[in-house]
Amino acid sequence: MSDHIALVDKAAPGLVVAAHVVGSTALGDRVPGSDLDLVVELARTPTDDDLRVLAEAQSLDLDVVYLVDGQPGPWGRDGRLNTTPAEVTPVLLEQLNNYSQTLRGPKPHFAVTRDEVEQWCRRNLVEYWAPLVELGAAARGPGLREGVLWLAFGPARLWHTIRTGEIVSKTRAGELAGAHWPDLADALKALVEARHDPGRELREEHRVVAVELGRRVLAEF
């Protein structure tokens, strides 16, 4: 991430005024293969030359959102820069305020309320996760590894945030869900271990547990 900022600084001095790490790295839960999540505040609406600089600095493992005066700007993922406005959610703003690591500039203080965070989490559960849970249920065998791990922890993270206001990592979400639903605890522990160990094999029972956890979370809200 520092390399990304250094490349932008060299080609467009003064463009970057602040930079903040979010996501699994900031939460102390980055695992092999995880993307790096970065939010960068820019000094101005990027010009065509600025966009070229940002595109050239974009790396494959970096997910970056650019803000201009607190408003969504371009964003980068999978080595490509997208010039359409980034999605800046209440959860991202809450992460910036309370769960980020600032690399440059002042600590962020964006206007967001707990109710806004909770309502976004509820909508996301219904609109995004509920269909994925049913897709997971319709699968056969162990399913795609990354998909099973994604499904295992995503709803659980939102479940905890809705209940407490706290944003937690995927690992912590798995632990909390296992404590709440003890009959799923062993399988969730195995899923947490698999997330940290790319060589750990997943079986059909792990996909089934990921689906069951998603359904239990959805049933609570």
What residue spans define the domains of the chain?
2-104, 114-220
Say whether pLDDT at 1 is over 70.
no
| Helices 130-138 and 204-220: angle between axes, nearest 10 degrees | 150
β-bridge partners, 40: 19, 66
Average pLDDT over residues 62-69: 97
pLDDT tens readout for residues 31-44? 987 889 999 999 99
Span 93-140, pLDDT tens digits = 999 999 999 999 999 999 999 999 999 999 999 999 999 999 999 999
Name the CATH topology of 2-104. Answer: Beta Polymerase; domain 2 (3.30.460)
Tokens representing 72 are: 């969504």
